[in-house]
Structure 1
C-alpha cells in the first residue's frame, strides 16, 4: 500500500479545480451534478458505474428495501442515482473532505432526496471503537442513537491520493509530509452497528480492515474497488452471517462470488479428495502437508477404498479431533470410484483430487484457490516435482516443465504470480490432474467425471475433457506438488492396463462427436504421445498385439474424422512400420461408408481383460 500511495502522489499541494456541472445517466436516471474534480476522476466514476455497478445490480434481484453504505461518496456519483432508482433503500454516504461534502449535500438537496444521509467523515481502522447497538435489519431507517454516533467524529491522519481524488489512512512506515492531512473519521465498529445490506467499497488502505469488520455481519452484497490486495478469505462471511455476493476489482482481476456458485448447496472453499488404498506408510505425511498452512477454507476428504493395511483406522484415530479432515469409507472399486465418491461427499465450491502417497508444498492449495477466486478460472494448477526416497532421505528431481517456465509469471495477485496456459497445451501434456483445483460448477456443467469401469489411467480422459472445456488454465508459479516415484505405481507396470488408454480415447472422440468439437487435432497429438509412451513401457510379449490395437484405433479415427496423420508422426510412436500398417488398414476400409458410428464400435484389442484372458489361454 505504501508503494501505491507514493506512486499516486503527484503534488504536495492540494489542487483546486473549478466548479462545473456534469451530466450522465446511471441506473436509468438522468443525473446532473455540481462537481470540482479532474476529468480522470469523473471518467473513473462513470466507468465504474457502467462497467461495475450497473451490471452488478442488473444481474441480481435486490430486496425492495435495505441500507446501502457508500464508503467514498465524492459528490454523489453513485449514491444519488442509486437512491433515485432504489427509492425504498436508505443510503449513508461517507465523505471526509469538507468542500466535497458540501457539494454532495447540495446535490442531494437539489434532488430532494430524503433517503440519503451524508456524513462528513471517512472510515479509519485505528480509531477506538465505542459500544453501539446494532440496527434492526427489519427497519431501513437508522436509529437516532446511530445517527448521533455517525456525527461523533474524531480527527485522524490521512494521505491524499491526488491521482485518485481519494484519501488513505496513514500507514505504518509512511513518513509524514505535506501530502498528509487531518480529516474527520469514524471507527470501523460503526459498520457492524449499521449492519448494511450493501457496501460500496471505495476505501484505499482500509479494505482489509473493513472486510474483517464485516465478517460477522449479515451483509448481502459488496461491490467496488480494491486498491491493494486483500486475501479472499477476509471477504467470505462466517457461516452464521448468511449468504453474501461480492464483485471487487483489483487491477486487472476481479474477486467475485455470485449466483454461479450455487449458494443453496455449495460452501465457499476447497475440498481436497484423497483416494486412499493401502497407503499406511504415506497417508499421514500426505494429509499433514494439506493441513500445514492452517487455511480454514481448505478441508480434506479421505476416501478409504476398502483398504486392508489399517490406514483407514489410522486416519480415523489420528484426525478424530480435526474438523478439517473427514474420513469416508467404501468397498474397493478403484481409484476412479474413490475420487467420484469423494466428490459426491463434497459440497465445496472448488475441488481437487490427489493421491494418498504424495504430498504438497504447505501453501500450494491456498495459492491455487486464491488465484481461482480472483480470476474466476475454471482450473488452476501448481508446479510439480518428482519425489524419490533413497536411503531414508527425500530427494527431489525437477519435472520436465522446468525448461518451459524459466521466468516469473506475467500476472500477479498478491504474492502469487501465474501464467495462462492454453487448453490445447494441456491436452497434449502428461496427465497431472493431482496438482489442480477445479471449480465444481464447471465439472458438473460439463459432466466431467472419472470413468469407473477402468482400474488405471482414469485421469487421462478427465484431463482431456477438462483441457478442452476450460479453454485455459492458470499456472501458478513457486508452489509444487510432490509426485512420489516408486516401483508399485500403475504407470510403471508394463502390463495389460496400458490398453485402457484406447478405451479412454474412444470415449473422448465420442464426446467430441456428440458435442461438435471444432477440432480434435490436440487429442490426436495426445493419443500419439500416449502410444509412444505406453509402447516403451510394455512387456515385450504384449508389444505385437499393442501394435495391432494402435493400428486399428488410428485407422478408425482417420476414417471417421477424415484426417490424415503423416508418416513422420506415426513413426514417432516408436512402432516400426506403423505408417504402412495404418495405410493398409485404411485401404481395407476404403469401401466402407464414413460413419460416426464406427467410433462407437468395440474391439477386443482395446480391452485389457480380453488380452489378459488371451495370454492366460496361450500359456
Structure 2
C-alpha cells in the first residue's frame, strides 16, 4: 500500500513523510517519488521492524546503516534506541543532503552521517578498531571515515532509487565516494543494516570475522548463505536478509538455540565395505564446510567401520558412530539424535550423489525456509559387458520436463504438492529436511521394521510439508545390485501393512480431512509389492491386501472403485474386498477397526510358517 504523503515540501523535489517504526515517530524529508517511498516504508515495516521486534537488543551498541538513503532505518532506530550510536552510510549526493537535514531537524546527536558507500577493491583502512562494547570511536577511525575516495564499480542495481530496474534494463557503472569494506572490521558494529548492491559478498566475507550480533537488510544478488554465519562456529548471530520473494534467516521458530547452522548427512552403514568410501567422498566432494557426514555402523561384520575410521581419521567433517545391529531405521534415528545440526539428510551407504547436490539443497532450504528440498533421482547400473556404470534418470524427467520457475542464485527449482509427493517415488535419500519440522510433526523411522522403513517417512513428509522444492540439475545415484531389499521378493514386503496402518491411525487421531493421497499411495505400494513377490507368497498377500482395504474403506467411509482395485494387478481383488465389506456391513464404523490384526500382515509370522513348512 502506497502511504499518504505530506506534500508540504520545502522545494519542488522533496516531500515530508511521517514514519512510525520501532515505537517512535519521525518526520523525514524524502525525494518526491511515491514508488520509492512506498518501497522504503514497506521494507521498514515488513523486514526491519519485524526482525528487530522479535529480538532483545542491549541498551547500548553501534549500528551501521549501509545504504541509509534519507534515513528510513537509521533515524527511527536512533530515536527509539538513544543509547546506541548509528553510523549512516549514503553515497548518493541528493539523498545524503536530505539525510543530514533530517538528522539536524530531529536533533539526533547519536547519528553520524558518512557520504560514502563501501568498495571491495579499495586499500584496507588504517587506524585503531573500536573497543567492542563501547560506542565511542578512536580518533584515527573517525579520520578514516572522513576520507572517502572516488570508487567506480558496477552494482547489481542503481543506487537511487533502490528498486528493481524495468525489464531489459542494464547494470550501470557508478562512480561515487567510497570507503574500503574492511572499515566494518574496524568499526566492529553490533548491528548492521545492509543495502549495498554490488558489494554484498565482500561485506559478508568481512563480517564473518566480526562479532556482529544482528544483521538485517536486502540482497540484490545471490550470496552463499554460509558467508553470513560467523567464522567462529560458536559465535551467535541473528540475521534476516530478504532476497527477492525469499528471506534468508539464521534459524527457524522451533529450532533449538544449541543447533548449529549446518547440514548433517546420516549414513546408515551395514556391511557395505565395497561402496562406503565412494558414498562419503561424493557428499564431501564440493568442500562445503557447512555439510558434515555422520556414519552409523549398525553392527557391521565386514570391517567397513575400520575402513571409514582409517580413511577419514582427523577429518572433522566425518563422524563415525558404532551401535549394535538394530536395522537401518534404528541407525538413521541414532544418527539423527546424535546430530546437532539445523538440517538433516539420510542416504544409503551403497549409493552416491552428484558433487554439490547437498550444497544446492541446503541453499534453497535456507533461502526459502522450505521444510523439505529434494534433488532429482537416477538409477546407477553396472553394465556387465563393458564394466562401466550408467546413470538413468527416473520417470520424473518426463513428469517434470520444464525448467525450474524459481531460483536461488544458480539453483533452479519448482514447488511440488504433497499429493504429488505421496504418489511419487519414496526416494527420501535425495532430500534435505528442516529438523524443527521433523521434530514438531514427530516424523521418525519405524524401528520395528527391517525393510522399506522409508515408506512411512515419505508419506508423513508428504502430508505435513504441503509441498517441497524440487531442484533441477542435481541427482541422487541409486545403485542397482542383487543384494537390494527391493529385489528379494520375500516376506519383507508385508511390512507395508504395518506402516500404512500407523499412518491411517494417525489420520484418525489428527482428523486428516482427506485420505485420498494416502489411499492412492497404498494401492501403488500394493501393486509394486505384489509384482515383485515370490509366487508362493502371492496368495497370502492377496488375502491380506483385501482385508486391509476393506478395513480402510469401512473406517473412513472411503470407496475404492473397481477401476482402482483392478489397477493393483491382484486378480479378484475387487471381489475379495467386497466380500470382507459384506462380512462387517452391520458393524458400526469405529476407531477400533484399524487396530484389528491379521497374521497375513506380519512378516515374522510368515517367516515362521515358511520355516515350519521347510522343516528348518
TM range (shorter): over 0.9
Q: How does 1:298-447 map to 2 (within 5 A)?
A: 298-391=291-384, 392-447=387-442
Q: Does 1:603 align with 2:611?
A: no
CA gap of 1:556–1:180, structure 2 versus 1, over 3 A, is closer
From 478, 492, 499, the counterpart of 1:504: 499
1:144 is displaced (CA, Å) by 3.0
- For structure 2, which runs of at least 5 residues remain unmatched after alignment? 1-10, 164-169
Aligned to 1:8: none
Q: How does 1:259-298 map to 2 (within 5 A)?
A: 260=253, 262=255, 264-298=257-291
TM-score by length of 2: 0.94
Task: Tell me the distance in 2 between the aligned counterparts of 1:223 and 1:83.
Answer: 16
CA gap of 1:125–1:457, structure 2 versus 1, over 3 A, is same
CA gap of 1:53–1:346, structure 2 versus 1, over 3 A, is same
Q: Does 285-294 or 180-189 show the bigger shift?
A: 180-189
Aligned to 2:586: 591
Q: Does 1:57 align with 2:32?
A: no
Report if aligned partners of 1:37, 1:165 keep a CA contact under 8 Å in 2.
no
Q: Does 490-499 or 255-264 show the bigger shift?
A: 255-264
Size of the alignment, in residue pairs? 597
1:167 is displaced (CA, Å) by 8.3
Indicate the SS of the match to 1:525: helix
1:223-266 Cα deviation digits (max 9, x unpaired): 11111111111111112571111111111222112453635321
Task: Tell me the distance in 2 between the aligned counterparts of 1:154 and 1:397.
Answer: 56
CA gap of 1:449–1:188, structure 2 versus 1, over 3 A, is same
Task: Tell me the distance in 1 between the aligned counterparts of 2:297 and 2:35.
Answer: 59
TM-score by length of 1: 0.93
From 555, 559, 565, the counterpart of 1:560: 555
Q: How does 1:106-505 map to 2 (within 5 A)?
A: 106-158=101-153, 165=160, 180=173, 182-239=175-232, 242-258=235-251, 260=253, 262=255, 264-391=257-384, 392-505=387-500
Q: Does 390-399 or 335-344 show the bigger shift?
A: 390-399
1:35 is displaced (CA, Å) by 2.0
1:362 is displaced (CA, Å) by 0.5
Q: Does 246-255 or 30-39 show the bigger shift?
A: 30-39
1:130 is displaced (CA, Å) by 3.0
Task: Tell me the distance in 1 between the aligned counterparts of 2:379 and 2:576.
Answer: 37
1:128 is displaced (CA, Å) by 0.4
Task: Tell me the distance in 2 between the aligned counterparts of 1:432 and 1:34.
Answer: 57
For the aligned residue pairs, the C-alpha RMSD in angstroms reads 2.0
1:141 is displaced (CA, Å) by 2.8
- For structure 1, which runs of at least 5 residues remain unmatched after alignment? 1-15, 169-174
Report if aligned partners of 2:128, 2:138 keep a CA contact under 8 Å in 1.
no
Report if aligned partners of 2:157, 2:220 keep a CA contact under 8 Å in 1.
no
Report if aligned partners of 1:368, 1:380 keep a CA contact under 8 Å in 2.
yes
Indicate the SS of the match to 2:589: coil
Report if aligned partners of 2:279, 2:353 keep a CA contact under 8 Å in 1.
yes
1:473-520 Cα deviation digits (max 9, x unpaired): 100000000000111100111111110000000001111111221111
Aligned to 2:167: none
Aligned to 2:69: 74
1:468 is displaced (CA, Å) by 0.6
Report if aligned partners of 2:156, 2:198 keep a CA contact under 8 Å in 1.
no
Report if aligned partners of 2:352, 2:477 keep a CA contact under 8 Å in 1.
yes
CA gap of 1:518–1:182, structure 2 versus 1, over 3 A, is same
1:60-90 Cα deviation digits (max 9, x unpaired): 2222222111001111111111111122221
Task: Tell me the distance in 2 between the aligned counterparts of 1:139 and 1:414.
Answer: 38
